[in-house]
Amino acid sequence: MIKRGFLLAFVLFSFWRSYPTPEEPAVFDSSRAYGLGVLKGRQVPVLHLRGSPYEMGYQQGVLLRREIRGRVTSLYGELTLDPLPLLLQEARLLGIPDEFREEMLGLAQGAGVSYTDILLLNSGPQLVARPRSDEALHELLTTFQPWFPPHVELHFSTPDEPPSRWVSLSPRATFALFGEASEGGSLFHGVEGDMALEGVLLILYEPEAGNAFLSLSVPGMVGVRMGLNEEKISVAYLDVPSLDSSLRGVPLPFVLRQALQYSGDLPQALRIIASAPRIGGASVVIGDGKPASAAALELSAHRHALFEAQEDYVVRTDHFLELPILQGEGDSRGSEERYSWEEMIRRGYGLFDLEKALFLLSHQCETGGGRCYPQKVEEEMMLGAVMAASDLELWIISLDSGGAIGRWGFNLWEELER
């Protein structure tokens, strides 16, 4: 009976997904405003959102409608080869805070897609992270309840926008250094990136409740992969496949969003992240620029391990240190990359300022570690980002097709005043 109900719900979902015709398709590379929201067109665009959760979601949906619909088209195209994520995303993610559900609803309605589409964009990467435990799959089958998007039309149509290549941010490593490791003791929190610069978007949130913050993101996202708030708290995480998984938790990007929006210091951010119900594995690095400090958390669905910075720096890759038994089978590349990053930091120990932190990301081969990119690439790639949390700055590093390094800097307070 469960199997028949499951199949029926899946068939109905497939035919009832809808894409209302957009009234005003947005253009990603030009400045535009809707309500209190503003899209500032630059090489790295900045989307400034203000207001209630629903209002901020609706602003993003309208201003980035074309890009969001392109991402949805691309995502469902990939899922035709592996439909399991479609089933997983229908699980009862009851732990997602109401304010983020409201924001996703506004985003869906502004973009002219279904709430289910936005839920999948925001939760899919963690829901389908390998390996999957038997317990999680059993939980899916035994707790499934038919559920339908909040706005449904009795026809199915395909959006006219071309598929997008923007799937998600894919960081491979994150580090934070401060105190004696840096010049002047300032905090520098870096993330090694791996995606086309064309898909990078900065979202500046100015919510009714909580802190203002910057998030390095892609269109359609409500959660946070990496970001910096006005209290000088920085966060970044890497997915780590874990056998300890559940469908009753909250995808980690929503948890990091809570940490940025509602924490004022490092201990508070750590409490929010460690105490949240989770669905899978991750490594998180959290920094605080006042006074400068940092720590790392290893997370699975039901366990966590805290690592305070030793010698004023911390590095994490997609490899557990304290919870390896939960990781399942895998190779040692994550561990080898972590050793390489630690060696690079030790070589420049005590001398790191913003320029040297940026150099660390943009010249990894020359410094003897990390991932090495070729002299030329087909399209401009984002190599990574550095959050100078002590100065409320976020910098993005890229490599163009001619092998030239580019950089773009953003100051949180300056962006709020524009």
- For every residue of the chain, which 3-state class applies, written as one string? CHHHHHHHHHHHHHHHCCCCCCCCCCCCCCCEEECCEEEECCCCCEEEEEECHHHHHHHHHHHCHHHHHHHHHHHHHHHCCCCHHHHHCCCCCCCCCHHHHHHHHHHHHHHCCCHHHHHHHHHHHHHCCCCCCHHHHHHHHHHCCCCCCCCCCCCCCCCCCCCCCCCCCCCCEEEEEEECCECCEEEEEEEEEEEEHHHCEEEEEEECCCCCEEEEECCCCCCCCEEEECCCEEEEEEECCCCCCCCCCECHHHHHHHHHHHCCCHHHHHHHHHHCCECCCEEEEEEEECCEEEEEEEECCCCEEEEECECCEEEEECCCCCCHHHCCCCCCHHHHHHHHHHHHHHHCCCCECHHHHHHHHHCCCCCCCCCCCCCCCCCCEEEEEEEEHHHCEEEEEEECCCCCEEEEEEEHHHHHHC
Q: Residue 344 above 80 pLDDT?
A: yes
How large is the average pLDDT for residues 36-59? 93
Fold (topology level) of 173-417: Penicillin V Acylase; Chain A (3.60.60)
Residue length, the chain? 418
The label of the residue with tokens 């997915």 reads 239
Residue 112 has pLDDT above 90, yes or no: yes
Lowest mean pLDDT among 139-148, 243-252, 268-277, 357-366: 139-148
Residue with tokens 């898909």: 199
Band of residue 90 on the pLDDT scale cut at 50, 70, 90: very low
CA distance 213 to 402: 33
What number of other Cβ atoms are within 10 A of residue 406's Cβ? 16
What's the angle, vertex CA 195, arms to CA 190 and CA 198, rounded to 5?
110
Q: Are 85 and 120 in contact (CB under 8 A)?
A: yes
Ranking 164-178, 242-256, 269-283, 364-378 by mean pLDDT, the lowest is 364-378
Question: Residue 7 burial (CB < 10 Å; 0-12/13-18/19+)?
Answer: exposed
Residue 332: pLDDT above 80?
no
pLDDT confidence band for 190 (50 / 70 / 90):
very high
Question: How much is the pTM?
Answer: 0.82
Check whether 35 has a pLDDT greater than 50.
yes
> Quick check: 293 and 189 in contact, CB under 8 A?
no
State the pLDDT at residue 200. Answer: 84
Q: What pLDDT band is residue 406 in, cutting at 50, 70 and 90?
A: confident
pLDDT classification of 11: cutoffs 50, 70, 90 = very low
CATH 3.60.60.10 residue ranges for the chain: 173-417
Percent of the chain with pLDDT over 70: 70
pLDDT at 342 over 50: yes
* Highest mean pLDDT (candidates 48-57, 77-86, 299-308, 370-379): 48-57
Give residue 305's identity as a one-letter amino acid code. Answer: A
Euclidean distance between CA atoms 135 and 244, whole angstroms: 9
Structure confidence at residue 204 as a pLDDT band (50, 70, 90): very high
Give the pLDDT mean for 372-392. Answer: 79
Contacts of 191 (CB under 8 A, 6+ apart): 171, 173, 174, 216, 226, 236, 384, 385, 386
- Dump pLDDT digits (tens) for 147-158: 333 333 322 333
